[in-house]
Amino acid sequence: EDQVTQSPEALRLQEGESSSLNCSYTVSGLRGLFWYRQDPGKGPEFLFTLYSAGEEKEKERLKATLTKKESFLHITAPKPEDSATYLCAVTTGNQFYFGTGTSLTVIP
């Protein structure tokens, strides 16, 4: 069965404390993996697309990496404004499969 699992469900960090979020997937024929940020009361905001194992993308304090079975979203020296839910999604070219997200709280 195609599915996406994110861990941890929730993460609390002190400002400046780096960490990683995990997205593991079991799909037949991965055609892309996407990371989104979702703030309360808003729709998911696109962050990164990764297509092949070994690929990496960076944006400010965020860095996404991809292997054959999972992706990591590394957050370096986070700030309170990085607090949000981070969603992972994969596509087989026909369908998108979403994880349930990791709720990140960064404490000043």
Partner 1 sequence: EAGVAQSPRYKIIEKRQSVAFWCNPISGHATLYWYQQILGQGPKLLIQFQNNGVVDDSQLPKDRFSAERLKGVDSTLKIQPAKLEDSAVYLCASSLNPGGWGSPLHFGNGTRLTVT
Q: Looking at beta carbons only, is 40 or 108 nearer to partner 1?
A: 40
Q: Looking at beta carbons only, is 31 or 79 nearer to partner 1?
A: 31
* 13 makes contact with partner 1 (CB under 8 A): no
Of 91, 90, 101, the residue nearest 44 (C-alpha): 101
* 34 makes contact with partner 1 (CB under 8 A): yes
Q: 61 CB contacts (<8 Å, ≥6 apart)?
A: 75, 76, 77, 78, 79, 82
Per-residue contact flags (x/-) with partner 1 for residues 40 to 69, judged by CB under 8 A: -xxxxxx--x--------------------
| Cis status, amide bond into 44, omega within 30 of 0 | no
Work out which of 15, 16, 31, 53 binds partner 1, going by CB under 8 A: 31
Give dist(CA 17, CA 21) in Å, integer.
13
- Contact yes or no for 73/60 (Cβ under 8 A): no
Q: In the complex, which residues of this chain contact partner 1 (CB under 8 A)?
A: 4, 31-32, 34, 36, 41-46, 49, 87, 89, 91-96, 98-101
